[in-house]
């Protein structure tokens, strides 16, 4: 019925439009002259509707002028014009239809129309339909966005009307989608709303959930009997898990169905206002330092009628039992809420699946960061057994090398390409120097290696602080790494993280190639397993150790460039990664690159998993993760992938 009426109205409007094109805007204004001049929110609607539905191109300008308080009425004949301030107290009037200047008039001959904010809002709504059909695409987009920001029932019709003539395919799709969402919220026809709700089921967009969620918002109420005119979601049992007796009583108090409780604070206030001659209700003030005495004093006051009486738990129970408690939907239509609940459930399921996917991607990217940080350590600590506490500082040096390179090469892509081998060279040299000068003498004393490298670590950190200062230095990623790969509203991953993942995979391949396919790798493995035997086979263990350590350090430097792209480059950058890196290697299993990979994977997934369970607290996540690792080592002291037999060394 309503639809039929609307259709009729539309036809009528079309006829009117045809007529109006000949006569212009002024006659329409004149027809509603009285209510326009009166400027009241309650009565103005027909005038705005008539102007908006006139279909005249000048109507938009006219409405804008009106809303901007620039429309004037000539008192002599009651015609409306756009006014512009001229000299003195005179105004220059322009006709809306012809755009011609009619003349200049004194202010006393004119009346300014000052629409209040309510009317301006109505004008704004009427203007949306013009913007929706504006020839400028940007304006149409802006109109759509403004509707999205605050949807309103009045916008539904103009939006629907504008869909058919939309030339832009993309915008048309957007308009369709928005129309569906507005239908869900505001259409008067329940079946249309239910149909629209069912149509969006499975849609992951945030806007869909934003449109559906208000429909299923519930509020709690208490009443003597269950009302029949409300859309009741669920009836609550007082004293159950969902609604404790205390909460139920609070509901009664909130609904003015029961007197408020007398709290301990109330008692104290009541007592202190009723002190008479150093005592309250015949009990001396000095004795009022316990709850029992205070209650006695309060009871005495209540008996005297000075304060409302305390009531017991039994009273509370009785009051609660006498009422029913229920949750109602804000939305009156049960059909709509039922459909919305069902659709939301489907969406939630799909969102959950996608969140799992998102979490997995996050975990993989975190794992590749840890892997990248730990891969150098997998060589120095894992293969050589040298514990290098300065490993984190090598990462830091790599990051600073990247920063310095960017100071000389402004092009970000080129500078990163230069920075990677530079970082490798710098940290390789540093690693070789450290091996020759310090570590070589301490191969038999691993604990002292730990301490000596720690000394180097604090010296390097302070040096970096002296050179680069304490503030974070930027290492800017090339423009093509900005942004994220967006699958839908739930799943997105930034390109930098993808790049780091790729880099980690490249390093894995490189490491495997060097260890398994090159002469150096063969010598490395030989020296690690038995340096003396390797020596007697003509390998120079000193040289191999030096190169191995240099390689591990160099890879740490490259990892530093990668980490610097998304983290702040400061002198204590290395601190953030050193413990995790060691954990990665230890958990994964020493002496095996697959172990480091497994370790990084486990730590990455674990950390993200714990963060997901407790999203507000990343500190706690790290704590629990470390505790988990300590316990894990109980069961697999040699890591996930443990070397067996002779290769295990000791």
Partner 1 sequence: MERSFIAKNPSVLVFLAILSLFTLSVTILSEGFGVGVISTSFVKTLGKTLCLCLIAVAMDLVWGFTGILSLGHFAFFGLGGYMIGMWLMYERTRLIVVDSLAQAEIPPTSAEVVDAIATQVFGVVGSSEFPLIWAFSHSLTLQLILIVLVPGLLALIFGWLAFRSRVTGVYLSILTQAMTLALALYLFQNDSGLRGNNGLSGLQNLPGVTTSQDVVSIWFLWASALALGLGYMLAAWIVSGKFGSVIRGIRDNEARVRFLGYSVEVYKLAVFTLTACIAAIAGALYYPQAGIINPEEMAPIASIYLAVWVAIGGRGRLYGAVIGAAFVSLLSTWFTGGQAPDISLGFYTIKWVDWWQVLLGVTFVLVTLFAPQGIGGLFDLWTDRRHPDRHGANLGPDDGALREKEAME
Interface with partner 1 by CB under 8 A: which residues? Answer: 268, 271-272, 275, 280, 285-286, 288-291, 294, 387, 389, 438, 441-442, 444, 446-448, 450-452, 454-463, 465-466, 575, 579, 582-583, 586, 617, 619-620, 622-623, 626-627, 629-631, 633-635, 637
Select 163 or 633, whichever has its Cβ closest to partner 1: 633
- As measured in angstroms, the least distance from the Cβ of 461 to partner 1 is 7
Select 80 or 577, whichever has its Cβ closest to partner 1: 577
Do strands 101-106 and 279-280 pair parallel, antiparallel, or not at all (unpaired)?
Answer: unpaired
| Spatial distance between the Cα atoms of 62 and 51, rounded to a whole number of angstroms | 9
Helix (H, G, I), strand (E, B) or coil at 46: helix
Select 212 or 387, whichever has its Cβ closest to partner 1: 387
- As measured in angstroms, the least distance from the Cβ of 446 to partner 1 is 5
- As measured in angstroms, the least distance from the Cβ of 9 to partner 1 is 58
337 burial class (0-12, 13-18, 19+ CB within 10 angstroms)? buried
Select 68 or 630, whichever has its Cβ closest to partner 1: 630
Select 314 or 631, whichever has its Cβ closest to partner 1: 631
Select 178 or 270, whichever has its Cβ closest to partner 1: 270
Select 288 or 340, whichever has its Cβ closest to partner 1: 288
Question: In degrees, to the nearest 5, what angle opens at C-alpha 248 toward C-alphas 244 and 250?
Answer: 115
Tokens of 278: 């150093």
**Residue 524: which of 370, 378, 371, 368 has the closest Cα?**
378
- As measured in angstroms, the least distance from the Cβ of 268 to partner 1 is 6
State the residue for tokens 């040699």: 638
**Total count of residues recorded for the chain:** 650
3-state helix/strand/coil string of 560-595:
HHHHHHHCCECCCCCHHHHHHHHHHHHHHCCCCHHH
Select 328 or 388, whichever has its Cβ closest to partner 1: 388
- As measured in angstroms, the least distance from the Cβ of 579 to partner 1 is 5
Select 116 or 462, whichever has its Cβ closest to partner 1: 462
- As measured in angstroms, the least distance from the Cβ of 287 to partner 1 is 8
Are 358 and 491 a contacting pair, CB within 8 Å?
yes
**Residue 299: which of 269, 271, 258, 265 has the closest Cα?**
271
| Spatial distance between the Cα atoms of 535 and 490, rounded to a whole number of angstroms | 58
Tokens of 476: 């800017």
| Spatial distance between the Cα atoms of 373 and 575, rounded to a whole number of angstroms | 11
Instruction: Tally helices (H) and strands (E) across the chain.
Output: 26, 12
H or E segment to which residue 327 belongs: strand 324-329
| Spatial distance between the Cα atoms of 179 and 187, rounded to a whole number of angstroms | 10
Give 92's strand partners: 84, 104
Helix (H, G, I), strand (E, B) or coil at 484: strand
Select 291 or 482, whichever has its Cβ closest to partner 1: 291
Q: How far apart are the first and last CA of the chain?
A: 89
- As measured in angstroms, the least distance from the Cβ of 265 to partner 1 is 10
Select 235 or 459, whichever has its Cβ closest to partner 1: 459
- As measured in angstroms, the least distance from the Cβ of 53 to partner 1 is 56
- As measured in angstroms, the least distance from the Cβ of 648 to partner 1 is 14
Select 279 or 494, whichever has its Cβ closest to partner 1: 279
645 burial class (0-12, 13-18, 19+ CB within 10 angstroms)? exposed
- As measured in angstroms, the least distance from the Cβ of 548 to partner 1 is 18
Tokens of 311: 């009531």
Question: In degrees, to the nearest 5, what angle opens at C-alpha 577 toward C-alphas 575 and 578?
Answer: 70
- As measured in angstroms, the least distance from the Cβ of 294 to partner 1 is 7
**Core vs surface per residue 56-72: b (16+ CB within 10 A) or e:** bebbbbbbbbbbeebbb
Select 414 or 459, whichever has its Cβ closest to partner 1: 459
| Spatial distance between the Cα atoms of 11 and 226, rounded to a whole number of angstroms | 47
- As measured in angstroms, the least distance from the Cβ of 451 to partner 1 is 6
Alpha helices in 493-540 (DSSP H): 495-517, 519-529, 531-536
| Spatial distance between the Cα atoms of 347 and 216, rounded to a whole number of angstroms | 14
- As measured in angstroms, the least distance from the Cβ of 583 to partner 1 is 6
Select 240 or 287, whichever has its Cβ closest to partner 1: 287
- As measured in angstroms, the least distance from the Cβ of 450 to partner 1 is 6
């Amino acid at each position: 019925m309503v639809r039929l009426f609307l259709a009729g109205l539309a036809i009528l409007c079309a006829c009117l439009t045809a007529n109006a094109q000949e006569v212009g805007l002024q006659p329409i204004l004149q027809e509603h002259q009285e209510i326009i001049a009166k400027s009241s929110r309650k009565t103005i609607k027909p005038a705005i509707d008539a102007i908006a539905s006139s279909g005249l191109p000048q109507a938009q300008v006219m409405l804008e002028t009106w809303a901007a308080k620039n429309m004037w009425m000539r008192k002599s004949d009651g015609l409306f014009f756009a006014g512009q301030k001229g000299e003195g107290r005179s105004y220059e009037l322009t006709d809306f239809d012809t755009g011609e200047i009619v003349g200049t008039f004194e202010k006393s001959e004119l009346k300014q129309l000052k629409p209040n904010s309510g009317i301006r809002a109505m004008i704004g709504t009427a203007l949306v339909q013009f913007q929706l059909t504006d020839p400028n695409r940007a304006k149409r987009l802006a109109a759509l966005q403004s509707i999205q920001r605050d949807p309103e029932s009045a916008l539904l019709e103009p939006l629907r009307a504008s869909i058919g003539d939309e030339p832009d395919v993309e915008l048309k799709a957007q308009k369709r989608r928005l129309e569906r969402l507005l239908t869900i919220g505001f259409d008067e026809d329940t079946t249309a709303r239910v149909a629209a709700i069912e149509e969006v089921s499975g849609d992951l967009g945030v806007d869909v959930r934003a449109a559906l969620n208000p429909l299923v918002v519930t509020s709690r109420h208490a009443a003597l009997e269950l009302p029949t005119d409300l859309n009741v979601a669920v009836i609550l049992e007082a004293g159950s898990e969902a609604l404790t007796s205390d909460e139920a009583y609070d509901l009664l108090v909130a609904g003015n169905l029961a007197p408020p409780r007398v709290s301990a604070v109330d008692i104290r206030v009541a007592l202190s206002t009723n002190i008479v001659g150093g005592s309250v209700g015949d009990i001396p003030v000095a004795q009022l330092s316990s709850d029992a005495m205070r209650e006695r004093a309060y009871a005495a006051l209540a008996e005297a009628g000075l304060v409302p009486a305390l009531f017991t738990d039994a009273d509370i129970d009785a009051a609660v039992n006498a009422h029913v408690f229920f949750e109602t939907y804000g939305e009156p239509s049960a059909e709509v809420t039922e459909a919305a609940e069902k659709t939301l459930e489907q969406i939630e399921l799909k969102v959950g699946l996608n969140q799992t996917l998102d979490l997995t991607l996050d975990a993989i990217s975190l794992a590749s960061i840890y892997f990248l940080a730990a891969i150098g350590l997998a060589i120095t600590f894992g293969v050589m057994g040298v514990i290098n506490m300065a490993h984190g500082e090598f990462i830091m040096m790599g990051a600073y090398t990247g920063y310095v390179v960017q100071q000389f090469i402004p092009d970000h892509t080129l500078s990163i390409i230069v920075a990677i081998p530079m970082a490798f060279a710098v940290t390789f040299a540093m690693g070789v120097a450290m091996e020759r000068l310090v570590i070589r003498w301490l191969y038999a004393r691993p604990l002292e290696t730990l301490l000596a490298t720690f000394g180097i670590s604090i010296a390097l950190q302070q040096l970096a602080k002296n050179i680069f200062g304490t503030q974070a230095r930027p290492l800017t990623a090339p423009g093509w790494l900005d942004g994220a790969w967006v699958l839908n509203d739930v799943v997105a991953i930034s390109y930098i993280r993808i790049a780091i993942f790729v880099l980690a995979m490249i390093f894995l391949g490189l490491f495997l190639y060097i260890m398994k396919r090159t002469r150096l790798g063969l010598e490395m493995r030989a020296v690690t397993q038995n340096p003396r035997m390797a020596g007697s086979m003509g390998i120079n263990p000193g040289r191999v150790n030096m190169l191995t350590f240099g390689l591990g350090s160099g890879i740490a430097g490259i990892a530093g460039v990668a980490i610097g792209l998304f983290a702040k480059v400061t002198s204590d950058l290395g601190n953030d990664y050193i413990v995790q890196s060691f954990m990665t290697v230890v958990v994964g299993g020493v002496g095996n690159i697959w172990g480091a990979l497994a370790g990084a994977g486990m730590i990455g997934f674990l950390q993200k998993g714990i963060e997901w369970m407790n999203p507000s607290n990343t500190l706690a996540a790290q704590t629990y993760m470390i505790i988990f690792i300590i316990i894990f080592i109980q069961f697999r002291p040699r890591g996930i992938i443990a070397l067996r037999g002779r290769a295990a060394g000791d």
